[in-house]
């Protein structure tokens, strides 16, 4: 990544400070922000070795430290990271979650901490490139956070058919907006860690409210009709709870880890009967739910067959 870092440093920035360019079909970019915190304090509270896990829209994964330095800091590690589709609106077109496996190296000095990563595999084929560098560096009485990365995510079939490369006047602003948003929010996550604030996607499981009261207030605020949409969404909540209540064939229960992520036990040998879990019944309810939901949306939006 260091040769690519030199290339992007000589690329003219956008008005918002983002430097970017295409390189062999991927996007190479740099975004930097000065944080009002002394480097010593910032680096003590924000672990550079966890920078990749702190990226925006991170929803889970695993990290295995391999070697540490003389004072116990991680210098080499392997990670598997899963993120929401990027940009998030790609999910509308069938975009995949980003699932990438990386090797990482961390370099420490008195006035900077840097993590380098290289993606070796994407289990679901969601990324061809996702390599980068995050740097925390002392700058007078502040800390400069800089992200340099090379990324190329697999586009849904719709965007292959559209071939947006033929319309740079449309594609380029989308690229600038997407990368600026993602990495501005990532730097915001680092700042939140420094300040001791929550930054993960979602809410802690323990504080999650029942679906019904929160749903009513949201729908009322959105002005969604007579409540028929609410009825079907509430019904879906019940279906989800039934699915959640199922035990695996070996009796193992779901559990929540120390980071608030919920884990569901698998079935290694594929044993267990479909009907024993009640899947047939629930799938029937799910089909009825989606049929009712479609009708509710039509009614709330005033759409008729006429």
305 belongs to a structural domain: no
Closest alpha carbon to 115 in 84, 80, 77: 77
C-alpha Rg value of the chain to the nearest Å: 23
Are the C-beta atoms of 30 and 14 separated by less than 8 Å?
Answer: no
Q: What pLDDT, on a 0 to 100 scale, did the predictor assign at position 172? A: 75
200 belongs to a structural domain: no
Q: Is the domain of 49 the same as that of 165? A: yes
137 belongs to a structural domain: yes
Q: What is the DSSP string of 43-68?
A: HHHS-GGGTGGGSTTEEEEEEEEEEE
How many Cβ atoms are within 10 Å of 165's Cβ, its own excluded? 10
Q: Is the domain of 10 the same as that of 138? A: yes
Residue 57: how many CA atoms within 13 Å on its side-chain side? 17
141 belongs to a structural domain: yes
Q: Is the domain of 151 the same as that of 73? A: yes
Q: Is the domain of 117 the same as that of 178? A: yes
256 belongs to a structural domain: yes
Q: What pLDDT, on a 0 to 100 scale, did the predictor assign at position 162? A: 44
| Domain boundary, last residue among 195, 225, 260 | 195
Q: What is the pTM of this model?
A: 0.65
| Domain boundary, last residue among 165, 195, 225 | 195
Q: Is the domain of 225 the same as that of 183? A: no
Print the domain residue range for 73. Answer: 2-195
306 belongs to a structural domain: no
Grouping H, G, I as helix, E, B as strand and the rest as coil, residue 85 is: coil
216 belongs to a structural domain: yes
Q: Is the domain of 227 the same as that of 180? A: no
Q: Is the domain of 32 the same as that of 153? A: yes
Q: Is the domain of 177 the same as that of 210? A: no
Q: What is the DSSP string of 198-235?
A: --SSS--GGGPPPHHHHHHHHHHHHT-TTSHHHHHHHH
Tokens coding 293: 């939901």
Q: Is the domain of 33 the same as that of 148? A: yes
Task: Determine the length of the chain.
Answer: 306
Q: What pLDDT, on a 0 to 100 scale, did the predictor assign at position 32? A: 94
213 belongs to a structural domain: yes
| Domain boundary, last residue among 173, 195, 217 | 195
Q: Is the domain of 26 the same as that of 171? A: yes
Q: What pLDDT, on a 0 to 100 scale, did the predictor assign at position 88? A: 75
Are the C-beta atoms of 143 and 40 separated by less than 8 Å?
Answer: no
Grouping H, G, I as helix, E, B as strand and the rest as coil, residue 179 is: helix
Are the C-beta atoms of 104 and 77 separated by less than 8 Å?
Answer: yes
What's the structural domain count of the chain? 2
Peptide bond into 302 cis (omega under 30): no
Are the C-beta atoms of 156 and 97 separated by less than 8 Å?
Answer: no
Exposed / middle / buried, residue 142 (Cβ in 10 Å: 0-12, 13-18, 19+): middle
Residue by residue, pLDDT tens for the chain (306 residues) are 999 999 999 999 988 889 999 898 899 999 999 999 999 999 999 999 999 999 998 988 999 999 999 999 999 999 999 998 877 777 777 788 899 999 999 999 999 999 999 999 999 999 899 999 999 999 999 999 999 999 998 865 544 444 545 556 666 777 788 888 888 999 999 999 999 998 877 666 555 555 444 445 554 555 544 555 555 555 555 555 555 554 555 556 677 777 767 776 665 555 444 444 455 555 666 666 666 666 666 666 565 555
Beta bridge partners, 116, equal: 105, 133
CATH code assigned at 101: 3.30.530.20
Q: Is the domain of 44 the same as that of 154? A: yes
Q: Is the domain of 140 the same as that of 251? A: no
């Amino acid at each position: 990544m260091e040769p690519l870092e030199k290339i992007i440093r000589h690329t003219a920035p956008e008005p918002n400070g983002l430097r970017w360019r295409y390189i062999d079909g991927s996007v190479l970019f740099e975004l930097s922000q000065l944080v009002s915190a002394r480097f010593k304090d910032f680096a003590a509270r924000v672990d550079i070795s966890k920078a990749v896990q702190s990226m925006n829209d991170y929803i889970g994964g695993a990290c295995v430290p391999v070697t540490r330095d003389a004072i116990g800091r991680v210098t080499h590690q392997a990670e598997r990271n899963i993120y929401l589709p990027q940009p998030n609106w790609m999910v509308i077109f069938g975009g995949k979650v980003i699932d990438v496996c990386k090797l990482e190296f961390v370099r420490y000095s008195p006035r900077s901490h840097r993590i380098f990563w290289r993606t070796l595999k994407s289990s679901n084929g969601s990324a061809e490139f996702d390599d980068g560098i995050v740097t925390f560096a002392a700058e007078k009485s502040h800390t400069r956070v800089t992200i340099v990365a090379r990324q190329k995510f697999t586009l849904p079939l719709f965007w292959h058919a559209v071939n947006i490369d033929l319309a740079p006047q449309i594609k380029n602003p989308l690229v600038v907006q997407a990368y600026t948003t993602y990495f501005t929010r990532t730097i915001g996550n680092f700042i939140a860690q420094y300040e001791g604030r929550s930054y993960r996607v979602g809410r802690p499981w323990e504080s999650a409210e029942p679906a019904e009261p929160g749903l009513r207030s949201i729908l009322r605020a959105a002005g969604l009709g007579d409540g028929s949409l609410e009825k079907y969404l509430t019904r879906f909540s019940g279906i989800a709870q039934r699915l959640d209540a199922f035990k695996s064939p070996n009796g193992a229960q779901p559990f929540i880890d120390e980071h608030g992520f919920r884990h569901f036990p698998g079935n290694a040998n594929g044993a267990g009967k479909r009907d024993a879990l009640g899947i047939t019944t629930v799938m029937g309810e799910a089909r009825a739910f989606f049929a009712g939901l479609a009708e509710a949306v039509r009614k709330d939006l005033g759409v008729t067959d006429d």
